[in-house]
Structures are given as C-alpha cells and as structure tokens.
Structure 1
C-alpha cells in the first residue's frame, strides 16, 4: 500500500473533513445555546448581567469545542462516507483497486489534522479560557475580591485578611450538607500601613453549616521587634467569606493542562488527598486522540454495507448510536475505575478496543 496521498485520498479526506466541520459547528451551536439558556436563571445575581453571560459563553467555547469534537467526528465521518456510498463513489473506488484499509487511512489522516488541533487547544487555550470564564462569573455573581493564580492556588480577601489555599474540594456529608475543604491554607493579616501583622497556617480549613473551622493551626504574630508563635489543633474562624464563591473559584481538573494535572496528582498523593478526579481527567487527555481515531475507524466498515442504501437519517442515527454508545462505555469504565480503584489507563483503553473489536466482528459478518 502506497503511503503518499493520491487524488482519491484527498477527495475522500476532504469530503469527510467538510461533513465533520458542519456537524461540529451544529453540535457546538446547540451546546452553546443550551448553556446560555442555563445561565438565564443566574442573571441578576450580584452584578451578573446578560453581557457577562455572553462573555462567559465566549470564553467557554474552546472547551466546548474540545468536548463535542469526538461526537462530531464520528457522526461527520459516517455522514461523509455515507454520502460517498449513496452515490456509488465508494463502489467506484473499490472497483479501481482501492482497499478498505486505504479508505480508512484517508479518513484517519483527515481527522488527525483536527484531532491534533484539539489536543493543542485542550492543553493551551481551553484551560486558560475556562479559568477566565469561571473567574468572570464568580466575581460578577458574588462581588468578591477573589482570584485564582496558576501556580499558587486560590486567593481571596476579607477586610485586612488575605486567604491563600493551594487546593480544595466540595464534599457532601452523611446528612446531605455541603462541605467545603481547603488545603494548605495561609491567612495574611496586614495593618493599615501595609505591614504584616500575623501569618496563620492551617493544614485544612473546613466550612459547613456551622461556619469555618481551621485544623492544625500555626500562627506567627509579628511585633515591632519580636515574633511569637501559637499552635492549636483546631480553631473557629469568624469569617464571612462565602463558601459558594470560594468553591466556584477553585481550579477544577478540567481547567488544568496535563502537566499541571500531573503536578496536582503528585501533590495530593504526597499529602494523602483524593486524586481520583485529577487522574480521571489526566488520562482522559492522553487517550483523547486515540479515542477519536479508534471511534471513527470503527465506524468505517458500515460505509461499505448499511450506509449504501440508507438515507441521511440512517447515517445520522448510526453516528449518534456510535457516539453515545462509546460515551456510555467510557463513562462506565471511568466510574468503575474510580469506585474500584483500578488503573485509569485500563479504563480508558478498554472502550476503543471494544469498539474496534465489535466493528471488526460486524465487518466479517458483512453488516447491511
């Protein structure tokens, strides 16, 4: 099989690429409209306006494009190949000696271009834009002096006290109460002249319906010529910082690059914290291009059988069936990996292997 692209490779690849782009734009538009409608109930909270909602939506578009691309790729590939099959162009290509493998390679190469673009987007533009979107919404809704720094966690201000937390997460207690946990917390108290009055370190800051509690506390108080230290196992913190606003400002795993995710995983494991959400997102990034290509290659055999006599509705149905089936498989194995604590690499490798195996089996049985 010759590896250099020829005119039939370019033709097949261009047809598939165009249909994928059209489907991608449609899915992205529908996702954006649903997201904007979901923001309607939040307009009016604090200073959050319709303009803020539009800006938030614009910032989230790179992440949404990254998320819907696998579904758009398989639906678009099936529709493009189905279009060629319906006009007997695939039959003509096969008649001149073009193998199924060569057609599959043409599809894979054309989709690889968009897949590489999405991988770069997922590591650069998407996390940055999503962080900006979250910061915009939080500051507008809660009117707080709060920011997230890329390498130094969450920052918030209350009067003369500045809070810094490296990481945090939300939990639900046995009675259904929401709990916010912040880890590696530092409280800086400044005087009116800008001088540091005290520095309080707490291993954990916990917020529930009873308020804030600091755990494993160490406080250094700075005098003009002296420093005193106080250590406490726990201490109540009379703060009015909004826990919901702080939770909204925490860096979420989806907002981090693969390198930052790996750093967060190592940090959490060193400190005995739950790292499963970060591992899930981290390995999802690595398997993203494999999932896209495997899913589309698994759908190629249908173009030589069931799509030849079907209309647009049949192609669309098969594309959605493939995409949803793969998504459900991936979610199932991901949840199982989190619950049973087995390797996420296995969980993410099984769905594409299963889809390719099913496709090969159906191809041998001459589906359609």
Structure 2
C-alpha cells in the first residue's frame, strides 16, 4: 500500500474535516450559550455584571473546545463517512481497489491535524484562559481589596499583608462541613514605609467555622538592623480573607498543564497528600490523542454497513451513541482506578483498546 496521499485520500479527509468542524462549532456554540445562561445567577453578586459573565464565557471557550473535540470528532466522522456511503461514493472507492484500511487511514490523518492542534491548545491556551476566567470571576464577585495571581501558586492581598500558598484544597469533615487547607503558606507584612516588616511561614493555613489557624509557624521580624525569629506549633491568624474567594482562586487540576500536573503530583507524594485527582487529569492528557483516533477508527466499519441506508438522523444517533458510550466507559474505568488504586495508565488504555477490538470484530463480520 502506497503511503503517499492520493486524490481520494484528500477527498475523504476534506469531507470528514468539514463535517467535524461543523459539528464542533455547533456543540461549542450550544455549550457556550448554556454556560452563559448558567452565569446569570452570579450577576449582581459583588460587582459581577453581564459583561463579566460574557468575558468569563469567552475565556473558557478554548477549554470547552478541548473537552468537546472527541465527541465532535466521532459524530463528525460518522456523519461525513455516512454522507459518502449514502451517495455510494465509498462503494465506488472500494470498487476501484481502495481498501477499508486506506479509507480509515485517510480519516485518521485528517483528524490527527485537529488532534495535534487540540493537544497544543490543552497545554497552552486552554489552561491560561481558564485561569484568567477564574481570576476575573473571583475579583468581580468578592471584595476588591483582594487580588489573585497565578505566577507561583496562589496569591492574595489583605491590606498590607500578602499571602502566597503553594496549593490547597477544600475538604469535608464527618459532619459535612467544609474547610479550606492551604499548604506552604507565606505571609508578607509591610510597614507604613512599604518595607518588609515580617515574613511568616506556615506549613498549613486552615480555615473552618472558627476562623484561620496557622500550623507549624516560623516568623521573622525585621528591625532596622536586626532580625528576630519566632516559632509556634500553631496559632490563630486574625484575618478577614474570604475562604470561598481563596478556594475559587485555587488552580484546579484540569486548569494545569501536563508539566504543572507532574510537579503537583510529585509534591503531593513527597508530602503524603492525595494525588489521585492530579494523576487522573495527568494521564487523561497523555491518552487524549489515542482516545480521539481510537474512537473515530472504531466507528469506521459502520460507514460500510449500517450508515449506507440511513439518513442524517441515524448517523447523528450512532455518533452520539458511540461518543457517550466511550465517555461513560472511560469515566467508569477512571473512577474504578481511583477507588481501587489501580494505575491510571491501565484505566485509560483499556477503553481505546476495547473500542478498537470491537471495531476489528465488526469489520471482519462486515457490519450491515
């Protein structure tokens, strides 16, 4: 089989790309409209306006495009190939000697272009824009005396005190009440002249119904010509920082790049913290291209059988069935891996392997 592209490869690939882009645009538009309508409940909270909601939705579009692409790819591929099957063009290609494997390869190469684009987007633009969206919402909903940044962990300001935390998480106690735990916290306090007055380091900063408590505290007090160190196992921190606002500013695993996820995983394992959510997201990034291509290739046999005599509704139904079935299967294996502490690489490798095996079996039986 010749590996150089032929005119029929370009024709099949172009047709599939066109339908994938169309489906992708429709899904993305619907998702953005639903997200914007969901933000209506936040309008009027603090200084949050419709303009903020619109900007927040726009910032989240790259992340939504990344998430929706696998579903758009399989639905678009099935619709594109189904259209060629309905007009007997696939039959004509088979009659002149073009194999099913060659047609599947044309689909895979065409979708690989968009997949590479989405992988780059998932590591660059999507995390950056989602973080900007979260920072925009946080600064608008909560008091303006607090600012958020993400250059190194979490930053917040209260008057002349600046807080920096490496990371944090919200936890639930046995009674269902939430508490916020920040890790590796540094508090920088400035004097009236703008000079550093104290530097406080705490292993943890915990907020619950009773307020803030710092754990394993080390404080350096700077004088004109001296530095004094104070230590304490724990102490109450009198602060009005809103824990909900800080929780909103924490970087969620899905908003991190693969490199940042790996760093977070290593940090949590070194300190005995739960890293499963980060491992789940990390390995889902690595298996993202394989999942997209496996899902679309698994759907190719239907183009030579059941799609030949079906209309647009049937192709759309099969595409959605394939996409939802795969996503549910992947979610099931991911949740089971987290619960049973199985390697996430195994959990994310099984669904595409199963889909490709089913596809091969259907291809041999000549579905239709």
TM-score (normalizing by structure 1)? 0.98
Deviations 1:187-209 (A, max 9, x none): 11111111222111110111111
Question: Which portions of structure 1, spanning 4 or more consecutive aligned residues, are displaced by more than 6 angstroms?
Answer: none
Find the counterpart in structure 2 of residue 130 from structure 1.
130
Matched, 1:302 2:313: no
User: After the TM superposition, which residues 177-216 of structure 1 pair with which residues of structure 2 at under 5 Å, given as runs?
Assistant: 177-216=177-216
The size of the alignment, in residue pairs, is 367
1:367 positional shift: 2.3
Whole-angstrom CA distance in 2 between matches of 1:49 and 1:351: 43
Matched, 1:225 2:220: no
Find the counterpart in structure 2 of residue 6 from structure 1.
6
1:148 positional shift: 2.3
User: After the TM superposition, which residues 1-368 of structure 1 pair with which residues of structure 2 at under 5 Å, given as runs?
Assistant: 1-144=1-144, 145-150=146-151, 152-368=152-368
SS class of match (1:147): coil
Unmatched 5+ stretches in structure 1:
none
Whole-angstrom CA distance in 1 between matches of 2:102 and 2:362: 19
1:15 positional shift: 0.6
1:184 positional shift: 0.1
1:131 positional shift: 0.9
SS class of match (1:146): coil
SS class of match (2:148): strand
Judge conservation of contact 1:148–1:250 (CA < 8 Å) in 2.
no
SS class of match (1:148): coil
Whole-angstrom CA distance in 2 between matches of 1:171 and 1:85: 53
Whole-angstrom CA distance in 1 between matches of 2:94 and 2:77: 18
Whole-angstrom CA distance in 2 between matches of 1:362 and 1:95: 21
1:224 positional shift: 2.2
Judge conservation of contact 1:148–1:251 (CA < 8 Å) in 2.
no
Judge conservation of contact 1:79–1:312 (CA < 8 Å) in 2.
yes
Deviations 1:280-338 (A, max 9, x none): 11111111111000000000001011101111111111100000011001111111111
The 10-residue stretch of structure 1 (240-249 or 253-262) with the greater mean CA deviation from structure 2? 253-262
Q: Report the aligned-residue RMSD.
A: 1.0
SS class of match (1:149): coil
Whole-angstrom CA distance in 1 between matches of 2:367 and 2:147: 58
Whole-angstrom CA distance in 2 between matches of 1:31 and 1:173: 34
1:228 positional shift: 2.0
Whole-angstrom CA distance in 1 between matches of 2:190 and 2:149: 20
SS class of match (2:141): helix
Whole-angstrom CA distance in 2 between matches of 1:204 and 1:308: 62
Whole-angstrom CA distance in 1 between matches of 2:198 and 2:299: 63
